Amino acid sequence: MLDQVTAVRYVDPLRAGGSVPGVVETDDLGTYVVKFTGAAQGRKALVAEVIVGELARRLGLRVPELRLVDFDPAVAADEPDTEIQDMLRASGGLNLGMDLLPGARDYRPGMVPVDSAEAGRVVWLDALTGNVDRTVHNPNLVVWHGRVWLIDNGAALIFHHRWAGAEAAVGKRYDLSAHALGSSAPDVRLADEDLGPLVTVPLLEEVLALVPDEWLADEPGFDSADAVRRAYVTHLAARAVLSEQWLPEGFATPEQLREAELRRAARTRAGRPAWLQEVPDLHGKPAVETVWEHHFE
């Protein structure tokens, strides 16, 4: 199991993302960004965070330390927002904390050097785990002490939202053309040669053992938490072997990304009432020099 800590103070909600994680102080004197089981994304987002984050760590990528956080809603009794209070009251028990990296800032292309080998390893991991949520508009990367760190992996493992189709998705290629590190010329074939052989059944079993039973319980079609673990291991192990079917084929240039954004904005405006046609569409534009904790989703 991951190390477990107890929440002693709920500091502040982070409202930038739909899951509304919060900054929480714990009894190990640590400060964590905590994702809650009562959020709209539910427990599967936390399961994905553990699996992808701890797999990334074992493959040599930088991920903030994860902790299970025993949360008593009483420590957040002073939170004035009633909707957040409802979520917190539904989140008693184990939740997931990610170590808050003081002063970390949201990654932007060109912010720090990222060589093709490192970029390739991040892209390869995202391709393996079906994480399409690390884009130029929503990098889910931060820079801390001059190095890139991976955060917010909860949207990965798309297959576990519909287990009936998981087998058919083993060789699926996801569109990563707008990946946040696409401009770093990711060498995904080198990453496949280096990382693919490491994604073995024993390694995956080690990672899945870190997910609490209660987050896997009551999954339709499975009779136990261990059966769910085996399904994750089977899917990811088979997918690693079939990498030739899903390796990303290319990345959009900055010009192509701008053109795609213009087309998207035009489609959005076309669906507006006439009086809104000339209002600029600001959706999706990345914030400049935003502090990590205000970007976490």
Q: Are residues 146 and 223 in the same domain?
A: yes
Q: Considering its fold, how many domains does the chain have in total?
A: 2
For residue 265, being part of any structural domain is answered with: no
What residue numbers bound the domain in which 83 lies? Answer: 4-101
For residue 297, being part of any structural domain is answered with: no
Length of the chain: 297
Task: Give Cα separations from 225 to 211, 213, 236 (angstroms).
Answer: 9, 6, 17
Kindly report, residue by residue over 245-287, the tens digit of the pLDDT.
999 988 877 777 777 777 776 777 676 666 555 545 444 444 3
Give percent of the chain above pLDDT 70.
88
Q: Are residues 151 and 223 in the same domain?
A: yes
**Other CB atoms closer than 10 Å to residue 216's CB: what's the count?**
21
**How is the beta sheet containing 105-106 ordered, strand by strand?**
105-106, 141-144, 147-150
Question: Band of the pLDDT at 293, cuts 50, 70, 90?
Answer: very low
CA atoms within 13 A on the CB side of 148: 24
Read off the amino acid at residue 272. Answer: R
Residue 150 has pLDDT above 60, yes or no: yes
Gyration radius from the chain CA atoms: 20
**What is the pTM (predicted TM-score) of this model?**
0.87
Q: Are residues 116 and 240 in the same domain?
A: yes
Kindly report, residue by residue over 45-91, the tens digit of the pLDDT.
999 999 999 999 999 999 999 999 999 999 999 999 999 999 999 99
Kindly report, residue by residue over 169-224, the tens digit of the pLDDT.
999 999 999 999 999 999 999 999 999 999 999 999 999 999 999 999 989 999 99
Q: Are residues 90 and 111 in the same domain?
A: no
For residue 239, being part of any structural domain is answered with: yes
For residue 128, being part of any structural domain is answered with: yes
Rounded Cα distance, 83 and 89, in Å: 10
Rounded Cα distance, 199 and 173, in Å: 18
For residue 161, being part of any structural domain is answered with: yes
DSSP string computed for the chain: ---EEEEEEEEEE-TTSTT--EEEEETTS-EEEEE-TTSTT-HHHHHHHHHHHHHHHHTT---PPEEEEEE-GGGGTT---HHHHHHHHTT-EEEEEEE--TT-EE--TTSS---HHHHHHHHHHHHHTT----BSSS--EEEETTEEEE---TT--GGGG-GGGTGGGTTPPP--TTBTTGGG---HHHHHHHHGGG--HHHHHHHHTTS-HHHHTT-TT-SSHHHHHHHHHHHHHHHHHTHHHHS------HHHHHHHHHHHHHHHHHTS-GGGTTS---TTPPPSS-BGGGT--
For residue 256, being part of any structural domain is answered with: no
Which of 204, 219, 246 represents a domain boundary (last residue)?
246
Q: Are residues 87 and 130 in the same domain?
A: no
| Cα angle 122, 128, 132; round to 5 | 70
Q: Are residues 182 and 59 in the same domain?
A: no
Rounded Cα distance, 243 and 83, in Å: 43
Q: Are residues 33 and 114 in the same domain?
A: no
Q: Are residues 182 and 201 in the same domain?
A: yes
Q: Are residues 152 and 206 in the same domain?
A: yes
Distance between alpha carbon 106 and the CA centroid of its chain, in Å?
Answer: 14
Which of 219, 246, 273 represents a domain boundary (last residue)?
246
Residue bearing tokens 């990304």: 257
Which of 101, 126, 154 represents a domain boundary (last residue)?
101
Question: How high is the pLDDT of residue 253?
Answer: 73
For residue 91, being part of any structural domain is answered with: yes
Q: Are residues 64 and 119 in the same domain?
A: no
Q: Are residues 109 and 95 in the same domain?
A: no
Q: Are residues 97 and 109 in the same domain?
A: no
CATH of the domain at 11: 3.30.1010.10
